[in-house]
C-alpha cells in the first residue's frame, strides 16, 4: 500500500489522539465503525485514541435542514486532531438549501489536497503490484466551486457553470504532489490537463505546477523528480491500457475525481480505494466509495477502503508504524482471498472482514 511520507502534522509525543467520526449516510455507518475498531487495535503504536461522533450528510439535512451543522465544523476545527468521513448521499437533482457536506468540509477546513493511492494486491508478498499510483487532486476549485446559473435564451434554457483555477491553489497542490513524488521510488510526476482546449484555465494549472521546482523556497529540492504531462482524455485511455506508466498524477478537481474512480476499476472495487483530504493544519480520511444505498444496512459493505483511509490519516500525522500495521494486515487478508465481501466476488460480511484484519493485527 501507499507508504510514502506526505507531511507530518503532529508530534508523536502526544498522549492522546482525538478523532472526529462522521459516518454521514448509507454504508458510512458500517465502515467507519470498522475503521475505528482497527485504530483501537493498534495499541501503543499510536497515542490513545479518543473518538467523537459528529453529524453531516443527507439524512442530517432531512432532519435538521442543514447537511453540515456548525457544531460539526467547530468541533473538528477546535477539538479534533483529525477525522474520518464515511459517505454522503447527495441527490442527483437540485434541492433548495442542500449542499454537499464533504465539499463544504474541504473548504471550511482548507483541505486543499485529496490524495488517492490506487494499488493492486501483489499475488505474493514482496512482489511488485501491477498498479501502483497516486492521484493528487486539487480539492477546492475547478467546477466544484458550484457557481451555476440557468437562464432563458433564444435556444431555450441555458445553463452555465463557472470554473475557477487560481495560481495559489495550483501552486500548493503542485507542491504537495512534488512532495509525494519525491518520497516514492520512481519520483515521477504527471500533470493532467486539457490545455490544448482550455488554454486559460488548464493552461494556468499546467504552468503553475511546472513552475514549482523553480520557487526560491524550494531551492532545488525537487530536482530529482521527473515531470511529464498528459491530456486528461488520453490519460484515461493509458490508465486502462498501461497503468504502469503512471506514478503520481496531479490534476484539477474534476479530472482528479474522475481519474481516481476510474483507476479503482483496475484494482477490483471502489471498496478498496482510500483517500485523505489534507491541508496544512488538518487531515481527514475518506474512502473513495459512495453511500451505496442498495446495500446499506445489509452488513456486506467492504470496510477495507475505510481502514486504509485510517492508515493514510495516521501516516499523514506521523504515525507510520501504526499505519504500516494496518496496511500490512489488510494486504494479508486480501492476498489470502478467503474473507472478501461481495464487491470482490466473496461472501463475507463487513464484520467478518474486520475480524480477519484484527486477527492479522
Q: Give the domain ranges of the chain.
A: 14-111+286-360, 132-266
With b meaning 16 or more CB within 10 Å and e meaning fewer, what string describes 330-355?
Answer: bbbbbeeeebbbbbbebebbbebbbe
Given this model, what pLDDT does residue 17 score? 97
pLDDT digits (tens, 9 = 90+) for 173-185: 999 999 999 999 9
Give yes or no for residue 194 having a pLDDT over 60. Answer: yes
Q: Do domains 14-111+286-360 and 132-266 have the same CATH topology?
A: yes
User: pLDDT averaged over the chain?
Assistant: 93
Give yes or no for residue 285 having a pLDDT over 90. Answer: yes
Mean pLDDT over 292-299 rounds to: 96
Mean pLDDT over 11-37 rounds to: 92
Given this model, what pLDDT does residue 329 score? 97
Given this model, what pLDDT does residue 8 score? 59
Query: Catalytic residue positions?
Result: 144, 194, 233, 257, 261
User: What CATH superfamily classification does 132-266 receive?
Assistant: Isopropylmalate Dehydrogenase (3.40.718.10)
**How far, in Å, CA of 37 to CA of 32, rounded?**
9
The residues, any chain, with a CB within 8 Å of residue 355's CB and separated by 6 or more, are none
Distances (CA, A) of 110 to 141, 166, 188, 274, 344: 11, 15, 26, 19, 34
More confident residue, 153 or 171: 171
Mean pLDDT over 312-322 rounds to: 96
pLDDT digits (tens, 9 = 90+) for 199-214: 999 999 999 999 999 9
Contact 119, 1 (CB under 8 A): yes
More confident residue, 3 or 245: 245
The C-alpha cell of 237 is what? Answer: 485511455
* pLDDT class of 93 with cuts at 50, 70, 90: confident
More confident residue, 9 or 275: 275
Name the CATH architecture for the domain at 14-111+286-360: 3-Layer(aba) Sandwich (3.40)
* pLDDT class of 12 with cuts at 50, 70, 90: low
Q: What's the pTM value of the predicted model, to 2 decimals?
A: 0.91
Given this model, what pLDDT does residue 195 score? 95
Q: What is the CA radius of gyration of the chain?
A: 20
Mean pLDDT over 301-308 rounds to: 98
Tell me which residue has cell 514482496. Answer: 126
pLDDT digits (tens, 9 = 90+) for 36-82: 999 999 999 999 999 999 999 999 999 999 999 999 999 999 999 99
Other Cβ atoms less than 10 A from the Cβ of 200: the count is: 9
| DSSP code of residue 286 | -
- In a 13 Å sphere around the CA of 227, the CA atoms on its Cβ side amount to 17
Amino acid at each position: 500500500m501507499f507508504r510514502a511520507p506526505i507531511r507530518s502534522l503532529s508530534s508523536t509525543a502526544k498522549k492522546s489522539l482525538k478523532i472526529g467520526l462522521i459516518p454521514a449516510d448509507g454504508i458510512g455507518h458500517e465502515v467507519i465503525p470498522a475503521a475505528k475498531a482497527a485504530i483501537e487495535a493498534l495499541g501503543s503504536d499510536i497515542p490513545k485514541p479518543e473518538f467523537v461522533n459528529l453529524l453531516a450528510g443527507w439524512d442530517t439535512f432531512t432532519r435538521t435542514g442543514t447537511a453540515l451543522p456548525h457544531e460539526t465544523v467547530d468541533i473538528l476545527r477546535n477539538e479534533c486532531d483529525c477525522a474520518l468521513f464515511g459517505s454522503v448521499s447527495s441527490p442527483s437533482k437540485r434541492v433548495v438549501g442542500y449542499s454537499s457536506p464533504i465539499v463544504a468540509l474541504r473548504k471550511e477546513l482548507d483541505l486543499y489536497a485529496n490524495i488517492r493511492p490506487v494499488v493492486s494486491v501483489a499475488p505474493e508478498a514482496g512482489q511488485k503490484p501491477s498498479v501502483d499510483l497516486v492521484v493528487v487532486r486539487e480539492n477546492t476549485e475547478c467546477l466544484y466551486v458550484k457557481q451555476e446559473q440557468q437562464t432563458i435564451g433564444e435556444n431555450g434554457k441555458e445553463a452555465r457553470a463557472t470554473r475557477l483555477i487560481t495560481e495559489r491553489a495550483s501552486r500548493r497542490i503542485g507542491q504537495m504532489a512534488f512532495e509525494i513524488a519525491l518520497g516514492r521510488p520512481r519520483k515521477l510526476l504527471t500533470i493532467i490537463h486539457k490545455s490544448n482546449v482550455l488554454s486559460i484555465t488548464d493552461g494556468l494549472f499546467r504552468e503553475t505546477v511546472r513552475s514549482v521546482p523553480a520557487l526560491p523556497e524550494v531551492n532545488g529540492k525537487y530536482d530529482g523528480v521527473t515531470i511529464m504531462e498528459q491530456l486528461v482524455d488520453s490519460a484515461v485511455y493509458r490508465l486502462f491500457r498501461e497503468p504502469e506508466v503512471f506514478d503520481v498524477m496531479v490534476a484539477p478537481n474534476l479530472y482528479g475525481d474522475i481519474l481516481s474512480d476510474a483507476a479503482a476499476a483496475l484494482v477490483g472495487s471502489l471498496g478498496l480505494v482510500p483517500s485523505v483530504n489534507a491541508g496544512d493544519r488538518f487531515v481527514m480520511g475518506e474512502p473513495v466509495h459512495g453511500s451505496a444505498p442498495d446495500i446499506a444496512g445489509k452488513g456486506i459493505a467492504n470496510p477495507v477502503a475505510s481502514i486504509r483511509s485510517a492508515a493514510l490519516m495516521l501516516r499523514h500525522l506521523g504515525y507510520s508504524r501504526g499505519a504500516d500495521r494496518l496496511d500490512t494486515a489488510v494486504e494479508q487478508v486480501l492476498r489470502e482471498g478467503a474473507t472478501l465481501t461481495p464487491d470482490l466476488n466473496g461472501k463475507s460480511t463487513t464484520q467478518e472482514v474486520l475480524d480477519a484484519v484484527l486477527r492479522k493485527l
